[in-house]
Structure 1
Amino acid sequence: MKSKQAIIFSVALLVGQMCFAQTNVLEDFKPSTLNQPGQEFPEVNSQGYARFKIKAPEADSIRVSLGLGGRGGTLLTKGADGFFTGTTEGPMDEGFHYYHLSVDGGTFNDPGALNFYGSTRWESGIEIPAHDQDFYALKDVPHGNVVQILFNSKSTHSQRRAFVYTPPGYNKNISKKYPVLYLQHGWGEDETAWSNQGRVNLIMDNLIAEGKTKPFIIVMTYGMTNELKWGHMKDFKIEPFQTVLVDELIPYVDSHFRTIANREHRAMAGLSMGGMETHAITLNKSNVFSYYALLSGGIYTPEELKGKTKPTLIFISCGSRERPDGVKNAVTALKGAGYNAVSYVSENTAHEFLTWRRSLHELAPMLFRN
């Protein structure tokens, strides 16, 4: 009898919790800022929930890849009007997220959302409002420009592309020269990632307007010379891309932009796989770069830096849901060995763009201070 009562109580408690959770979802949903023009869905609310509405009268099942706890995403419910609707089970992490739709087993993008290149394909994007989003907001401040460049790569027998951020006022004072940060994307992304998903230009515009960083140029290029599938990164060879970056792109940038073309005014940073590339290239070419930054992209050790030209700054960051202790311990060891090293941990984020937006926001004021 006690056992039956316990079961009834547990079921009642579970139902009560479900009802409680549902009634505590605030109905202040607004269209995501990354929606296609004129599209109402997807929507997000102030708590971080995302809501979807997809018209697919001939479909039987739609699941949104966004979800919690590895449960396979959010299953939408089909209505008599042919619309599938649904809300995530819980709030999402703040910031930018890729997602897609599984429609009757096929993979498709949400027609209501803008697309962003990630996971080696164009994915839908959604922006969950962050409590600190002001630092990457579009404001009424002087703006720099992001321009596309095409440069010849003899080593790969191809024309390659990069995007270059020049700070506000670059075209006014044509005698002024600037330091340069070479900034790399992560695996499955491309040279558009930092401008589109990362908001790098807005972060820099706002920092410069507030007088918190020195103006500098940022160069973003595609980090792959051989295409690899996920899980095969051990097969990635850094030397071909190192040749593209150091022997082809840097000379092109120095000859086409007003740069201070020396080691002391050149930095390299990257997120995730771009951090792996930064780690390898800065160790191989310590005479080329003076500032190193790994954003969720590994660590440096004093042993591997021994005998290299000493960097001015080493910056290592990650999200609090990644491996913050590893980052902090690595920086402690570097400081103990006499290096100027800084750690940064983004609170309540994982391997995602809010981690890297915040990391760049912390890093930029530390660059080229001397």
Structure 2
Amino acid sequence: MPRPASTNVRGNKYPMVTPDGRAMFSVRAPQAKEVVVDICNKKYKMTRGFMGEWTVTTDPLVVGFHYYFLNIDGVAVADPMSDSFYGCGVMTSGIEIPESASDAAYYTYDKSIPHGQVRECHYWSEKEQSMRRCFVYTPAEYETKKNAKYPVLYLQHGMGEDERGWHQQGKMAEILDNSIAAGKSVPMIVVMDYGNCGYIFGKLRGETRDQFGASFGPVLIDEVIPYIESHFRVKTGKDNRAMAGLSWGGKQTFDITLANLDKFSYIGAFSGALFISPNADFNTLYGGVFADADKFNKQCKYLFMGIGTEEGDGAKNAVNLLRSHGINAVYYESQGTAHEWLTWRRCLNEFIPHLFKK
């Protein structure tokens, strides 16, 4: 039997998900002439029924979280019966096509284990002359072990998303809670800040690829890290800091950490937009940090690159290239997934057990 999607606004029957992964949509728009659902790179024309109720059932969709839009007479809008999420540079709708309970266990709320907190924090940016916002995860024991200090993972969203993404779409709190409770990961603090890339590249006329989101680096180094270290009980120093990001956030992670190896020891890119050419000059790539492999391997305790199998071989080729130059790099594939949140949830789950281990 079809069941209401977990991403619905509470109390709404639709959208629904069938046992074989189809999504069923219903929208009341009595004045509309055409209504279309745009999901997973495919458009489904809806059929008008009684009292202007428009309905459609999609083809089977791949498991995981998917953004979608309603297009009513040519205007793209969010579905009022779905929760809204910031993605694709706008507030839009999202639907979760569930995996099996066993496959989804690592990002599912477990009532039998202790749970951390996610706090919304505001701080003043002198660089931007404005208030900024970050979300900070603290592990369950943070409230009871009052003298304990914790290492920090700085975790970035991708292009067209913002600091809410990892907490809402990415289910990072459940992933951290479950991994820590299982003894796989050490208790840590996770900071999710806005990467200054919440719009789609090309929106700002004249902005180059290298400029897109680049202003976040100085903010992170000079303002975010000092704010976290003055407001939370954290361990300081490079061996107690990690950074990872998805898609464009992966590019930002490489750009920032490889220029600041005195501040970070753990690096992760999930479907990272890295643009490492097979003909790259390792004497100049990322300022030459890979030129001396032995030195880099001592500075960086863990370098991780993950990607979905449906995204191509870019990450695999980059890892093989790095390895051919003596760089210790770990490669992970998420089976059957593309450039999507299920890939990044899996990458995070694979990445965090390797952090901050003695």
- Normalised by the length of structure 2, the TM-score is 0.90
1: distance between equivalents of 2:90 and 2:336? 27
Q: State the shift of 1:237 in Å.
A: 4.9
1: distance between equivalents of 2:109 and 2:156? 23
Instruction: Say which is worse superposed, 307-316 or 260-269, in terms of deviation.
Output: 307-316
Q: For residue 351 of structure 1, give the secondary structure of its aligned residue in structure 2.
A: coil
Partner of 1:81: 51
1:43–1:238 CA distance, 2 compared to 1 (3 A) = closer
Alignment gaps of 5+ in structure 1: 1-27
The yes-or-no answer on 1:260 pairing with 2:235 is yes
Residue identity (%): 43
Which amino acid in structure 2 is aligned with residue 268 of structure 1?
Answer: M
Picking from 335, 338, 343, the partner of 1:347 is 335
The yes-or-no answer on 1:194 pairing with 2:163 is no
Partner of 1:286: 261
1: distance between equivalents of 2:354 and 2:240? 12
Partner of 2:346: 358
Which amino acid in structure 1 is aligned with residue 344 of structure 2?
Answer: W
1:229–1:235 CA distance, 2 compared to 1 (3 A) = same
Q: State the shift of 1:217 in Å.
A: 0.5
2: distance between equivalents of 1:133 and 1:302? 41
The yes-or-no answer on 1:126 pairing with 2:95 is yes
1: distance between equivalents of 2:126 and 2:273? 31
Determine if contact 1:34/1:127 at 8 Å carries over to the other structure: yes
Partner of 2:130: 158
The yes-or-no answer on 1:29 pairing with 2:7 is no
Partner of 2:304: 315
Q: State the shift of 1:154 in Å.
A: 0.7
1: distance between equivalents of 2:148 and 2:135? 20
Q: For residue 329 of structure 1, give the secondary structure of its aligned residue in structure 2.
A: helix
Which amino acid in structure 1 is aligned with residue 224 of structure 2?
Answer: L
Partner of 1:15: none
2: distance between equivalents of 1:39 and 1:186? 30
Which amino acid in structure 2 is aligned with residue 45 of structure 1?
Answer: T
Q: State the shift of 1:329 in Å.
A: 3.1
Structure with max Cα Rg: 1
Query: Number of residue pairs matched?
Result: 338
Picking from 322, 331, 335, the partner of 1:334 is 322
Partner of 1:66: 39
Determine if contact 1:225/1:240 at 8 Å carries over to the other structure: no
Which amino acid in structure 1 is aligned with residue 98 of structure 2?
Answer: P
Q: State the shift of 1:121 in Å.
A: 1.1
Partner of 1:367: 355
2: distance between equivalents of 1:334 and 1:234? 23
1: distance between equivalents of 2:328 and 2:70? 46
2: distance between equivalents of 1:96 and 1:110? 15
2: distance between equivalents of 1:94 and 1:105? 28
1:226–1:40 CA distance, 2 compared to 1 (3 A) = closer
The yes-or-no answer on 1:97 pairing with 2:69 is no
2: distance between equivalents of 1:124 and 1:233? 30
Partner of 1:7: none
Q: For residue 321 of structure 1, give the secondary structure of its aligned residue in structure 2.
A: helix
The yes-or-no answer on 1:171 pairing with 2:156 is no
1:338–1:369 CA distance, 2 compared to 1 (3 A) = farther
1: distance between equivalents of 2:198 and 2:216? 9
